[in-house]
Amino acid sequence: MTATFPQYLTLDARASHGTCALVQLNRFILDGHSNVPGDYFQNFRAYEAGKHGKCGRAGLWGYCSLSVQYGSPIAPRDFPQAGDKIDWKGIVDNAVERAMAVSEDKPFIDGNHRTALMTMFEAISYNGLHITNDVDVFRLYVLLKSLTDNIGNFPKKNHIQVKKEMIKLLKDVVRIRPSPRIRSSAVTYEARLSLAYATKVDLPHQIAEMETSRKHLELELALAGDADAKRKIVRGWNQRLKKENSKALARFKYVYPQYVLV
């Protein structure tokens, strides 16, 4: 059964432990099948109850001792729009750093990089900043993954490189207003849902689509003769995919740049 957004995100991240809220994001990404390592909560014992305390008890993923102290507020839906004088750079920098920390630490058994993306999107939304529909979820994911893992022929990058490129991608898609014509608008629940399912559902589909295309192309190239024949195959493949799905071609070339035609 597919996990719905409100089914697992029951905590208000502003009034709960960051680690407790992070577990809920991971469980949403994995349809409730998240397996948290035994030492997950122990790693944060300096400011949380720990593995054998109130937080982190098996099956109590919606329980957070800090949230209880705040009166167990209901998870919010919409967020008021940020003011014109808000520290845009500070908010985005902090959100990117939080996402990178999750990707680098890999606190979960699976879904770490997508959970990291969700963490970043939610942190930005919580501060009343809008993320437009043209945000490049795929490239942000590849950059996060490049901190620790190989993905295709995309080179591994260090912390500074990834942060710089992620902020560059977010520069034009994170705004105080959703569009110049709209003076005031809350960050809506529907907008958060769109980002959540783009990360949870669309992203894995795009990755699978890319890998299928790669396998088909490499099979054709393996059966080809000389270099001229291979160039003809790559050229035809580029033209065909560009006509059918230009965004899929852009994603493919981002990860497999050796197939870029000069």
Task: Give pLDDT tens digits for 79-100.
Answer: 999 888 889 999 999 999 999 9
Cross-strand pairs, 8? none
Confidence of residue 78 (pLDDT cuts 50, 70, 90): very high
Inform me whether the pLDDT recorded for 42 exceeds 80: no
Q: Which residues fall within 8 angstroms of residue 158, CB to CB, at 6 or more apart?
A: 147
- Indicate left, alpha or beta for 174 from its phi (over 0: left) and psi (-120 to 50: alpha): beta
Task: Give pLDDT tens digits for 10-24.
Answer: 999 989 888 889 889
Task: Give pLDDT tens digits for 51-65.
Answer: 445 676 555 678 888
Identify the pLDDT of residue 177. Answer: 82
Inform me whether the pLDDT recorded for 1 exceeds 50: no
pLDDT higher at 33 or 96 = 96
Question: H/E element holding 43?
Answer: none
Question: H/E element holding 57?
Answer: none
Identify the pLDDT of residue 127. Answer: 94
Confidence of residue 35 (pLDDT cuts 50, 70, 90): low
Identify the pLDDT of residue 260. Answer: 66
Instruction: Tell me the C-alpha distance between 174 and 172, whole Å.
Output: 6
Identify the pLDDT of residue 47. Answer: 44
Identify the pLDDT of residue 53. Answer: 52
The percent of residues in the chain predicted with pLDDT above 90, rounded, is 45
The pTM for the full model equals: 0.89
Inform me whether the pLDDT recorded for 41 exceeds 70: no
Average pLDDT over the chain, rounded to an integer: 86
Task: Give pLDDT tens digits for 221-259.
Answer: 888 878 888 888 888 888 888 888 889 888 998 999 877
Rounded to 5 degrees, φ, ψ at 216 are -65, -45
What is the pLDDT averaged over residues 142-154? Answer: 92
Contact in structure between 199 and 136 (CB atoms under 8 Å): no
Question: H/E element holding 91?
Answer: helix 88-105
Q: Which residue matches tokens 């899929």?
A: 248
The two structure tokens encoding residue 176 = 């105080």
Cross-strand pairs, 131? 174
Burial status of residue 79 (CB atoms within 10 A of its CB: 0-12, 13-18, 19 or more): buried
Inform me whether the pLDDT recorded for 36 exceeds 80: no
Identify the pLDDT of residue 107. Answer: 87
Inform me whether the pLDDT recorded for 180 exceeds 90: no
Identify the pLDDT of residue 258. Answer: 79
Identify the pLDDT of residue 46. Answer: 41
What is the pLDDT averaged over residues 48-77? Answer: 74
Identify the pLDDT of residue 45. Answer: 47
| Sequence-ordered strand ranges (E) for the chain | 130-131, 174-175
